[in-house]
Amino acid sequence: MKFLIPLLFISVVYSQTPCDNIRTRSQWGSRSTSLTWMAVRPPSGFVIHHTAGARCTTQAACDGQMRNLQNFHIDSNGWADVGYNFCIGDPGQVYEGRGYGRVGAHSPGFSARSLGHCFFGNHMSVLPSSAALSSTQAFIDCSRARGELTASHWLSTHRNDGSVATTCPGDALFNVVSTWPRFVGNP
Ligand SMILES: [Zn+2]
C-alpha cells in the first residue's frame, strides 16, 4: 500500500494534457444552445482560425472574449452557437466552443468533417504566444489519442477551404501551422 500513492501521483502528473484541462462551457459562462452531432464521428480534420480581433492574456479576459464571440455569432450572424469547436488565447488553455463531435460554423467546406480551432487575436503579422502554439499541437495529439480525431487525420487552415476567400488564420500563424505534422494544403 505504501507504494501505491507515489505511483498514483506520478501517473497523474504524466497524464496531464490540454485535453485534461479544457475550459468548459459552464466555466466560461456559455449560453445554452442546441447543437448538431456530426454524421460521421470522429472527424478527419483539424482546422486553424484566428478571430482577427483582440487577443487575451488572462483567463478572465479569455472567458469574456468567449462570451462576446458567442453573443456575436448567435445574435449578429444568426448562428446556432459560437462557430468554432474550440478556441485558445495566450495563456494556452483550450476553450470548449461547440466541443467534440458537433458540426461547427467555421468553414463551409470543412465544418461537417473537422474540428475548428480558433486563436484569439489578429495573427497576420504577429504570432500567438508560444504557450498557445504548443498547447494547440498537444491538443491535436491528445484529441486523436482520445478518439476524437481519426488516426490518419489531416491539419489545415481556413484559407485552405477552396469555397471561401479569406486570409484567416493570418499570414504569420499560417506560416507556422503549415510546417506542423499532418498539414495538408488541399484536404
Ligand atoms: Zn477562420
C-alpha cell at 163: 469555397
- CA 78 – ligand 1 centroid, Å: 17
Cα of 107 vs centre of ligand 1, distance in Å, is 7
Residue 15 CA, ligand 1 centroid: distance in Å: 31
Q: Band the pLDDT of 111: cuts 50, 70, 90.
A: very high
140 alpha carbon – ligand 1 mean position (Å): 17
For the ranges 5-9, 59-63, 155-159, which has the lowest average pLDDT?
A: 5-9
pTM here is 0.92
- Looking at residue 147, what DSSP letter applies? T
Residue with cell string 491535436: 140
Q: What is the mean pLDDT of the chain?
A: 94
- Compute, in angstroms, the gap from residue 6 CA to the centroid of ligand 1: 45
Single-letter amino acid, residue 95: Y
Residue 116 has pLDDT above 70, yes or no: yes
Residue 14 confidence (pLDDT):
60
Edge-to-edge, what's the strand order for the sheet holding 94-96? 94-96, 86-88, 114-119, 45-50, 154-157
Q: How far is the CA of 3 from the centre of ligand 1 (A)?
A: 50
Q: 177 alpha carbon to ligand 1 midpoint, in Å?
A: 13
Q: What's the CA-to-centroid distance between 50 and ligand 1, angstroms? A: 6
Residue 10 has pLDDT above 60, yes or no: no
Residues of the chain above pLDDT 70, percent: 92
Give the model confidence (pLDDT) of 117-136 as tens digits.
999 999 999 999 999 999 99
Q: What mean pLDDT do residues 100-128 have?
A: 98
Where are the domains positioned within the chain?
Answer: 37-177
CATH superfamily of 37-177: Peptidoglycan recognition protein-like (3.40.80.10)
Query: 47 C-alpha vs ligand 1 centroid, how far in Å?
Result: 8
112 alpha carbon, distance to own chain's centre: 15
Q: How confident is the model at residue 7 (pLDDT cuts 50, 70, 90)?
A: low
Neighbours of ion ligand 1 (CB under 5 A): 49, 158, 168
Cα of 170 vs centre of ligand 1, distance in Å, is: 9
